[in-house]
Structure 1
């Protein structure tokens, strides 16, 4: 017999699970909904203790299934970390993958909440949503007007420190099996998760563990209200260890594998977050300042990951390839560790640009920026106010609008909006587009190319029809080699144009 502990997201309490609890109990399972403390002084630690107390109070012949919806995955993981011997499975119900040190605020989609919690004099409780405001916290598809009104009547303000206090994990529950239930109306699908596992940040690769199973529900963010029957059925299947498993071939990561060219190592100069890979001197011995390409790695990438992005095969490969063709190949290691870090990351890139331009071996008037994947959002700054020395802006399989669940990304980082606003004379754009891109990412690229056409931006597209996200570190093909060669030589040609 399964025994479920059900913990819901912000503003809601145990009553939101009423219909699901009934279905689970009818099936013979035990179900215990949790009402987390709503005292203004409560913090994440308070909520972890709420769950731990319930775990300790239950006498069960088997192991518990802890279900965390939205924010509640934080206290659920905290409780599992303290009582791993009691927990048989952790279920992420339309929830993220917080790590040790993460605060729940990073995944809050409503930007007004971020402003509220940064208010002078200290933040107060986050007001509970009215019926028309729930959509700021997730997709409301499947909810009737009556159900939205009911949610608001049952809601309570969210204590601010529950969102800002970092989650602390000792790692004792790392081996507990887990399940992910994705509510697809919000945009997240198993297909997108699989793409992130295959070519995204390294922390996603743990989702390919055989102990992890996935389910989809074709509804919005509150399935316990919009489809309680379906949710109860999926929870029972998750408890039984069912679910779709993800597989990832070895080496399919920009931080692993091999670059598609065998690029010779060049002298590397490290200056803080910036690495410069230097070209060979001219045959006659003269060595004037050279143009430079600054490669900006994708992300988010967790801090202290090994290998670091600038030491990974993908970015080493590009920088060395550029250096072999006579320009300085530079790589910046910026601090895009989570989706709330884009402003910090933008500062790191701007600082690296200034260091690069100040280097006497670099021609400060001829610089290209080349961004990858999740760093695509950083291009908004350079599109909004393009400096005269920026000769080219290159983008490889970029993410050009925040993905589902990326509500913590500030409005500043919207490349399409910046393109349409037109802040100056835009440099040429070189876009490498993967034909097998994940649909959600591909849609952001399509929107960007449409805006470029509307604004008559100089955009050259290099298509890789059989390439997927991060195709350069997969098994090389003539198509992929040709695409990279063309992209690099196109960028270098723009650098050689006279002022």
Structure 2
């Protein structure tokens, strides 16, 4: 008989587990919930000193008191913020914990406060310098306010009413006090339950592992498993029965296991470009690379903007990735200047500085005498899609085209960017006649595909000039993984469209005579 201990997240208490606990007990398991000080029962008051250690002690008290099976162990389930006291307790009772289940939560680390995992970027910045741990963070006061903390997809209105009515202020000390771990918890098996409606999936985690993020390397351990639930951030309210079934399977050691990075087989983003493109001269200027055509007169430039977040210590950096260098060489072979840059999108909170990096690179390129400063195209990939927003909001006269390939075109619910400007669909109202070229893959991750459809719906509403190039069997990152004629044709189609617009009529309405016409018909 498995014994589960369920730890709730920010603002919430034991009441949220009612239906899931019933499902577990009906299946023959034991289910216990943890009443976190200040969140269950009497509300915390300023100055009472409730912090992360207080909540770790709450979890330890339950671990030490519950009845267990013959092995004397429990399965700890931490939702949202609750994973931090759960992991802290497991580190001190590693011999009593059979498995830790991370329910749509982050990865707690030694010395890092729970605030680092809070999705609201603006809140993280505001509280980051907080010295006092005695304050309280007010809970969401209405249904819509919960979206700041995660997707409410699938939660019935009545359940949202109850969630809001019973929500408690979160003691700031629980978010600001660093978690202290001895390392004992590293021996405990774990399971991640990912809620795809909140913006996370197994495919996305696997892709991030492939990028070489050392913080994610441990997720490929065979003791780590994963499940997905097609719902928002509160599955105990939206899909309690399904959650109960997943927890039972997790306790049994079931679930998907990630594929470790194989040194003999490069990850998807480091495989060869699908097209055979010629070598061209390359110049490096700081964080910008220019791929130069064989030309005497100034030529249009195509600036390729990589996605992310990409770990700061990734090797090679994005401007060395074959898919991007292949695009830049292809553009140069067709008579344009291909431009690659490394921008500093290393974390979801880095979009502001990444946008500044892109703007600075564009100005560097336009100042180069070999570039026709009045004929620039910008081409964005993957998570770089959010960086389109400034160019859509106020397109400069010299921007001839904006392209995006398998882009993310709205912040995912758990990215915490709802209070920022990085919402491309909203920017379309000011895009005017700027031509857009969007390459859409049919096998996109659902959470990303939804952002593309949102963008295209907004484009239709605003009458935007969008050419959509569909790759029905294409995957995210298809230019290095889908070795098919369909994928090759899509790359050629997109490049033809972008170069046609970049080389298009000059300011007098005549086709530019400063370069030989590219062979747009080439297949």
Shift of 1:86: 5.4
> Match for residue 440 of structure 2?
433
> Match for residue 349 of structure 2?
340
> Match for residue 273 of structure 2?
259
Shift of 1:473: 0.8
> 1:294 touches 1:353 (CA, 8 Å); kept in 2?
yes
TM-score (norm 1): 0.81
Residues 279 and 108 (structure 1 numbering): CA distance in 2 closer, same or farther, change over 3 Å?
Answer: same
> Match for residue 364 of structure 1?
373
Helix, strand or coil for the counterpart of 1:330? strand
Alignment of 1:360-439 (within 5 A): 360-419=369-428, 421-422=429-430, 425-439=432-446
Helix, strand or coil for the counterpart of 2:467? strand
In 2: Cα distance, 1:169 partner to 1:254 partner: 34
Deviates more, 1:327-336 or 1:78-87: 78-87
In 1: Cα distance, 2:108 partner to 2:61 partner: 22
Shift of 1:304: 1.4
Residues 374 and 453 (structure 1 numbering): CA distance in 2 closer, same or farther, change over 3 Å?
Answer: same
Shift of 1:362: 3.3
Residue 12 in 1 paired to residue 23 in 2?
no
Shift of 1:69: 0.2
> Match for residue 324 of structure 1?
333
> 1:107 touches 1:405 (CA, 8 Å); kept in 2?
no
> Match for residue 75 of structure 2?
65
In 2: Cα distance, 1:229 partner to 1:428 partner: 48
Name which of 334, 338, 354 aligns with 2:363: 354
> 1:298 touches 1:373 (CA, 8 Å); kept in 2?
yes
Q: Deviations over 1:416-472 (max 9, x none)?
A: 1111x225x443211112122233322322332333344333322222222111111
Residue 181 in 1 paired to residue 193 in 2?
yes
Residues 205 and 331 (structure 1 numbering): CA distance in 2 closer, same or farther, change over 3 Å?
Answer: farther
Aligned length: 488
Shift of 1:379: 0.7
Residue 236 in 1 paired to residue 248 in 2?
yes
In 1: Cα distance, 2:311 partner to 2:165 partner: 39
> 1:277 touches 1:323 (CA, 8 Å); kept in 2?
no
> 2:269 touches 2:477 (CA, 8 Å); kept in 1?
no
In 1: Cα distance, 2:275 partner to 2:182 partner: 41
> 1:107 touches 1:408 (CA, 8 Å); kept in 2?
no
Shift of 1:308: 2.2
Residues 359 and 154 (structure 1 numbering): CA distance in 2 closer, same or farther, change over 3 Å?
Answer: same
Shift of 1:317: 2.1
> Match for residue 270 of structure 1?
284
TM-score (norm 2): 0.78
In 2: Cα distance, 1:337 partner to 1:215 partner: 26
Deviates more, 1:352-361 or 1:241-250: 241-250
> Match for residue 306 of structure 1?
315
Helix, strand or coil for the counterpart of 1:355? helix
Alignment of 1:92-111 (within 5 A): 92-97=102-107, 104-105=114-115, 108=118
Name which of 132, 135, 140 aligns with 1:129: 140
Shift of 1:242: 1.7
Q: Deviations over 1:138-181 (max 9, x none)?
A: 41634463x54554454321133544667687877556432233
> Match for residue 34 of structure 1?
34
Alignment of 1:446-461 (within 5 A): 446-461=453-468
Shift of 1:394: 1.0
> 1:430 touches 1:487 (CA, 8 Å); kept in 2?
yes
Shift of 1:240: 0.8
Residues 19 and 307 (structure 1 numbering): CA distance in 2 closer, same or farther, change over 3 Å?
Answer: same
Name which of 154, 157, 164 aligns with 1:141: 154
Residue 91 in 1 paired to residue 104 in 2?
no
> 2:156 touches 2:238 (CA, 8 Å); kept in 1?
yes
RMSD over aligned CA atoms reads 4.0
Name which of 136, 153, 171 aligns with 1:159: 171
Residues 47 and 295 (structure 1 numbering): CA distance in 2 closer, same or farther, change over 3 Å?
Answer: farther
